[in-house]
């Protein structure tokens, strides 16, 4: 498949008579998910003037409802097996109890913390 590159300068010159146009930002990113946040940070560190627009929460799918909550839930789900296995390794584990609202509250707290980074 042949790749076709669009010549921005040429197109701009044809429309406006000049290849130069001034913008408020060097990079404007829509969506503060993993990709948006990373690209904005990198461009900013390289000296670009950047802005980012997010319709929901900073962090996107991975932080807010994907990777991070999934991992916390998976870690939480392992404890039943771990308590059982511990007995085989000589541990005496007392009565255990699981509290779903505590897990959800702590998960939300961690996501709030990550969103603020």
Ligand X SMILES: Cc1cc2nc3c(=O)[nH]c(=O)nc-3n(C[C@H](O)[C@H](O)[C@H](O)COP(=O)(O)OP(=O)(O)OC[C@H]3O[C@@H](n4cnc5c(N)ncnc54)[C@H](O)[C@@H]3O)c2cc1C
In this complex, which beta carbon is closest to ligand X, that of residue 12 or of residue 69?
A: 69
Token code pair at residue 80: 């039943």
Q: Is 31 in the site for ligand X (CB under 6 A)?
A: yes
Strand 27-30, strand 50-53: pairing:
parallel
Among 14, 16, 61, 106, binds ligand X (CB under 6 A): 61
Q: At 19, list the tokens.
A: 């290849």
Residue range at the interface with ligand X (CB under 6 A); choices 60-68, 79-87, 90-98, 99-107 = 60-68
Q: Residue 99 and residue 103: Cα distance in Å, rounded?
A: 7
DSSP string, 87-102: HHTT---------HHH
In the bound complex, what is the minimum distance in angstroms from residue 78's beta carbon to ligand X? 16
Residues touching ligand X, count (CB under 6 A): 17
Q: How far apart are the first and last CA of the chain?
A: 42
Residue among 12, 62, 76, 103 that touches ligand X (CB under 6 A): 62
SS3 38: helix
Q: Which of 35, 51, 79, 84 is the binder for ligand X (CB under 6 A)? A: 35
Which positions touch ligand X (CB under 6 A)? 30-36, 53-56, 60-62, 66-67, 70
């Amino acid at each position: 498949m042949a790749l076709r590159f669009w010549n921005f300068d040429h197109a701009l010159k044809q429309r406006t008579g000049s290849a130069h146009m001034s913008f408020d930002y060097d990079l404007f990113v829509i969506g503060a998910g993993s990709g948006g946040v990373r690209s904005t940070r990198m461009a900013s560190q390289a000296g670009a003037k950047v802005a980012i627009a997010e319709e929901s929460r900073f962090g996107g799918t991975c932080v807010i409802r994907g990777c991070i909550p999934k991992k916390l839930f998976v870690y939480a789900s392992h404890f039943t097996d771990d308590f059982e296995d511990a007995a085989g390794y000589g541990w005496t584990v007392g009565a255990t109890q699981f509290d779903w609202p505590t897990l959800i509250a702590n998960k939300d707290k961690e996501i709030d913390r990550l969103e603020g980074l």
